[in-house]
C-alpha cells in the first residue's frame, strides 16, 4: 500500500517551509493542507494537541510535530537520497546546534525586526544582524553550511530569506551591506528547485507583514 503523507501548513510560515523543502529534496509526494490559523481545523487540533501549531507532518496517520524534528524525521525515513544530516556524530551535533541557534535566536530576532518600532526595533535590528554575522562566520567560505552539499542547517535557515525584504523595508536597513556572504549563500540555495518552489515571493511576505503590523496596531 502506498504511504500517506500530509503536511499541515501555512503559506507564510518559515517553519512550514522547512518541511516543504525537506520533502522536495527527498522527492516525497504528499498532500498539502493549508491551515487557517485563526480557525484551526479539527485535524490540526487532534494532531498537535500540545502546541496546536503548524507544521505537522502526518505519516500513515501518525503525527510528527515541530519543524526541526519533522526535518530530521523526513531525513531518517527517506534516507536513500539527499541526506540532510551528516553521518559523523560530531558533525551531526554541530548541525543540530546551529539549527537550534537559528530557531531560538535568528528567527526570534528577525520576527522582532518587522514586528516592532522605535527603539525596540533598533535593538532588534542590532541583535538580528549580530545573529546573521555569527551564522556568516560559521558558513565561512563554504558553499553550504555543512560543506559542499545542501543540508540540515541550510534547510533550517533559508526559509527566513523570503522574510528579509519585510525586515529591511520595515526597519530601513540592508542585510547585504553587512552580510554579503550570507546573501550569496541564500542566492545559491535559491537556485535549487526544492527551495525556490517552497518559498513564497518576498513581496507577498512583505505585504503580509504590513497587514500584520496594522492588525496588531504597530504604527
Q: Which of 37, 48, 49, 50 is CA-nearest to residue 6? A: 48
Report the residue number, 34 or 193, with the smaller CB distance to ligand GS8: 34
Which CB sits closer to ligand GS8, 19 or 182? 19
Closer by beta carbon to ligand GS8, 55 or else 110: 55
Segment 63 to 82, residues that bind ligand GS8, using CB under 6 A: 66-68
Binding map of ligand GS8 across residues 4-23, x = CB under 6 A, - = no contact: ------x--x-x--------
* Nearer residue to ligand GS8 within complex by CB, 14 or 151: 14
Residue with the shortest CB distance to ligand GS8: 53
Q: Is the dihedral of CA 139, 145, 150, 156 positive or negative?
A: negative
How far is residue 70's CA from residue 30's CA, in Å, rounded to a whole number?
Answer: 14
List the one residue out of 5, 15, 97 whose CA is nearest residue 51. 15
Q: Do the bridges between strand 56-59 and strand 62-65 make them parallel or antiparallel, or are there none, so unpaired? A: antiparallel
State which of positions 21-60 bind ligand GS8 (CB under 6 A): 37, 52-55
Minimum gap (Å) between residue 176 Cβ and ligand GS8: 25
| Closest distance of CB 125 from ligand GS8, Å | 20
* Cα(75)–Cα(151) distance, integer angstroms: 10
Q: Which residues contact 115 (CB under 8 A, 6 or more apart)?
A: 212, 213, 216, 218
Site residues (vs ligand GS8, CB under 6 A)? 10, 13, 15, 37, 52-55, 66-68
Amino acid at each position: 500500500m502506498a504511504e500517506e503523507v500530509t503536511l499541515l501548513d501555512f503559506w507564510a510560515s518559515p517553519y512550514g517551509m522547512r518541511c516543504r523543502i525537506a520533502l522536495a529534496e527527498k522527492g516525497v509526494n504528499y498532500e498539502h493542507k493549508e491551515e487557517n490559523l485563526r480557525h484551526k481545523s479539527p485535524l490540526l487540533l487532534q494532531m498537535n494537541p500540545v502546541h496546536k501549531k503548524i507544521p505537522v507532518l502526518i505519516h500513515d496517520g501518525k503525527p510528527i510535530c515541530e519543524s526541526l524534528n519533522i526535518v530530521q524525521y523526513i531525513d531518517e525515513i527517506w534516507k536513500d537520497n539527499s541526506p540532510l544530516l551528516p553521518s559523523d556524530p560530531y558533525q551531526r551535533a554541530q548541525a543540530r546546534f546551529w539549527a537550534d541557534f537559528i530557531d531560538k535566536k535568528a528567527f526570534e530576532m528577525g520576527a522582532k525586526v518587522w514586528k516592532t518600532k522605535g527603539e525596540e526595533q533598533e535593538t532588534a535590528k542590532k541583535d538580528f544582524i549580530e545573529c546573521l554575522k555569527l551564522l556568516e562566520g560559521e558558513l565561512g567560505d563554504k558553499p553550504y553550511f555543512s560543506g559542499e552539499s545542501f543540508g540540515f542547517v541550510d534547510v533550517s535557515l533559508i526559509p527566513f530569506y523570503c522574510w528579509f525584504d519585510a525586515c529591511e523595508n520595515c526597519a530601513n536597513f540592508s542585510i547585504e551591506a553587512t552580510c554579503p556572504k550570507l546573501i550569496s549563500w541564500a542566492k545559491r540555495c535559491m537556485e535549487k528547485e526544492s527551495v525556490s518552489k517552497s518559498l513564497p515571493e518576498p513581496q507577498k511576505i512583505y505585504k503580509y507583514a504590513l497587514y500584520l503590523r496594522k492588525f496588531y496596531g504597530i504604527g
